[in-house]
Each structure stands twice: as C-alpha cells, then as structure tokens.
Structure 1
C-alpha cells in the first residue's frame, strides 16, 4: 500500500529536515509530495531532494489549498500530512500502517513529541483511545488530534470533499470533525512525530484567527454530533 506524504511549504527554514524525515522512513512504499505554496524564501533547501520527491508549485493560497493540491496529485492509497517544520520518526509510517491494518482503521492518529527550534525534546503529548461518540464530545471541546500524526485512507478524504479552504488555520480540526461522521478515528499510543514549537509557527502568530475558526468549527458540528448521538439512541 503506497502512502502519499504531503508537505505544504511556505517560506519555512526547516523544510529540508521535514523532507529528509519523510524520505528516511523504514516503510519504503511512499511518495513525498512537497507543495510550494508561493514561497519566496528557503526554496534552495529543497534542491538536494528534487529527484526523490514530487515538487509542485502554486500561487499562495494557504495550508488547506496546498494539501488539496497535493491530494489531487497523489497516487497513494493513504494520505499522511507533514508540516514543513515538523519531522517523522523513522518508523512512523510502518508502525502506524501496521496498526491500521490490524484494526481495520481508515483513519488514525498518534501521540507526539514536542521539540524546540533546535530539535531539543520538550515533552510528550498523549491522548487516549476513545469511542466514536466520546471523541465527538471531545471534539466539541477542542481538537485532541495533531494533524501531522494522522494517516488516512485517501478515498475517504476525497469522498468527504477535501480540506475546506475557507479555513486558514483550523482546516485540520474541521476535517476530523467531518471524517468522524463517516468513520471511526483510531488512536495509537506511540509518539511517532516530532512537533516543533517555535515563535514563528502559525498557531502562535495567528492565535486570534485560530480561536475564531475553532469556535466556527464547534458551532458547525454541534448539531451534527447531536443528531448522530440521537440516532444511535433511537436505534439501540
């Protein structure tokens, strides 16, 4: 089963580390797709890998548009998203795919290790396995899913309508809320990515926008999750 690893890139100085971590996976049946979302800086960091990746260029449109552009060019059965400032551990795809095949999961996420600007580990962040209904309740409080830990069936993503490009910051949160209406989301309690925390990261620079979009997602899906719960009760 081929996995398409999509790396949206916009002026990120860490992009070479992200690409290297994707190419160095123990699971070899992958394609690495770097989507240059109108970058004007650090493009030279991609050149050493150019013969081993799909390098796509587009006008700047934001993370959701870059992910969707990558998905439209992907040839894998599974989708994995890697932010250009984060890194996969070597066994990430192998461990997670094995877990998904053994459980029949179409979507899964994992624990992760937070690192600083110099790759120093800060802490590990873990979640717990939740039933579909319990995860819906949690999603109405906030998003427990780190987008770069996710592997998902590409057909499921495409069938759901791709990432919503009207969201600049909460496109992943909105997607997981949409997917859980169509599929359970499984959790593997292993830290398999390095999540970089730094002052230039989007969630820090655009905290106000993130907050507004988070509220928008909660308001959008509250009624759908309530309908799901009501339907389950009446069909017991």
Structure 2
C-alpha cells in the first residue's frame, strides 16, 4: 500500500484558500489527507464550504504560521507531511513524484523546484529555485538565508518529531530555522530538479509586507547557528 501523505494548509484570511485546496484535492496520488488549519481567520472561510466533506478542518486561535503548521502536523496521520501555503498551488503530480523519489532514496526530507505566478494565477517565471552544484554549496547557502521554498518540502512526520517542531517564536523564518536544524542533524536534504509547486507572489503576501522585519529575523537565525554551520562545513569534503 502506498504511504499516506498529509498535506497541511495553514489558513488566515486568505482569498486564495479555495485554489490551494483544489490543487491538493486533485493530486494524482490516491492516499492523501488534507488538513486545513484555520489560524483564527475572520474572513474567507466560506470559500472552503464546497470542500468541507473532503478535508479535515481544524480551527484554532491566531498564533502564526508556525503554530498552525505544528498543530496540523501533530494531528496528521501520514508517514509524510507536505506544507502548502493557502495562496500557493501544488502541481497535480507533485505528491506522486515526490513520494516515489523519497521512497526510492529512503529520504527523510526533500524539496523541489517551483514556478512563480501572480495574483491572477498567471505563471510569470519557470523553474525559479536556486540551484547548487553540491550538497556543501547548498549547506553553505543556508548560512546567509533560506534557499528553500517551504511549500516544496515533503518530510517524514518522524523527522520533525525527532529534531523539534517549527519555532513558534519566529513569525516569518520558522521554516529557515528548521531547515538549518535539519542539516545540522546531518540529515540529507534532497533536491528534486523539477517544478512541482506554483508559488504566488502578490502585494498582500507577508514576504512583501514585512520584508525588512524578515531580513532582520533571518540575520538573527543565521548568527545563532553560524558557529555550528561553520563547524559542519569544515567537516565536509570539497
């Protein structure tokens, strides 16, 4: 039997939520559960009404994306968990291809390439992910910022249970901080060189509205782990 995949969709007042849910529902992979975590929304919940019977809907008080992800993953019953932001979309074969790769490679975590779309759903850039020639080059890039699009990541539930959850004290860089802890745990962070997620850039997204705050928060994370990252890189060949 194919392993179950839990798709976690944190949701807070996002008008694109129905598009994200539809992209999860129409995966070619048969063994999935879709967990929408409503992080205290006050609008746009009605967009979920047509899909309520096909998703697991969890409500909670507003606590930020990290808290919503942690809650959704804790409630997940899948071997693998995938994060889908409420304004992004998965390609139809995203889960099928990523699970096949991870099962073949016995991988605990992987990320993929992605396309970029605008607020109208028009793709504006193909294959936008940063590419690195070696694992060491990828790890080195993590010293200075986050090269991983969180919505391309699939990981085992066991991995996050073992290394620790998303840091809820970080409003914007909880994903970056977790990826750093993954590589410091010397877990291979696999990359699939194919766009399997469509990432939406629009004026209301948090990355645009809080850019300077995010930069400062990322710098703090980088400084916190700089010594450990340098020590790890010194051990790697190349």
| TM-score bin, normalised by smaller chain | over 0.9
Q: Give how far 1:69 is off.
A: 0.7
Q: Give how far 1:162 is off.
A: 0.6
Say if 2:139 and 2:233, in contact at 8 Å, map to a contact too. no
Q: 1:197 corresponds to which residue?
A: 201
Q: Give how far 1:66 is off.
A: 0.3
Match of 1:223 among 222, 227, 238: 227
Say if 1:129 and 1:186, in contact at 8 Å, map to a contact too. no
Q: 1:86 corresponds to which residue?
A: 88
Name the SS of the counterpart of 1:137 in structure 2: helix
Q: 2:172 corresponds to which residue?
A: 169
Tell me the TM-score normalized by structure 1: 0.95
**Structure 2: gaps of 5 or more residues:** none
Q: 2:143 corresponds to which residue?
A: 140
Q: 1:184 corresponds to which residue?
A: 188
- Partners of 1:54 and 1:62 in 2: how far apart? 19
Q: Does 1:41 align with 2:50?
A: no
Q: Give how far 1:231 is off.
A: 4.7
Q: Give how far 1:126 is off.
A: 3.1
Say if 2:5 and 2:32, in contact at 8 Å, map to a contact too. yes
Q: 2:113 corresponds to which residue?
A: 111
- Partners of 2:50 and 2:195 in 1: how far apart? 28
- Partners of 1:227 and 1:99 in 2: how far apart? 30
- Partners of 1:131 and 1:120 in 2: how far apart? 32
Q: Give how far 1:7 is off.
A: 0.2
Match of 1:76 among 75, 78, 87: 78
Aligned length: 233
Question: Which deviates more from structure 2 when the two are superposed, residues 132-141 or residues 38-47?
Answer: 132-141
* Coordinate RMSD, CA, aligned: 1.3
- Partners of 1:138 and 1:126 in 2: how far apart? 13
- Partners of 1:145 and 1:75 in 2: how far apart? 25
Q: Give how far 1:28 is off.
A: 1.3
- Partners of 2:176 and 2:24 in 1: how far apart? 23
Q: Give how far 1:129 is off.
A: 5.1
Q: 1:98 corresponds to which residue?
A: 100
Cα deviation 1:201-235 (Å, max 9, x = unaligned): 000011121111110111111111122234557xx
Tell me the TM-score normalized by structure 2: 0.94
Q: Give how far 1:24 is off.
A: 0.5
- Partners of 2:54 and 2:19 in 1: how far apart? 14
Name the SS of the counterpart of 1:142 in structure 2: coil
Question: Which deviates more from structure 2 when the two are superposed, residues 127-136 or residues 167-176?
Answer: 127-136
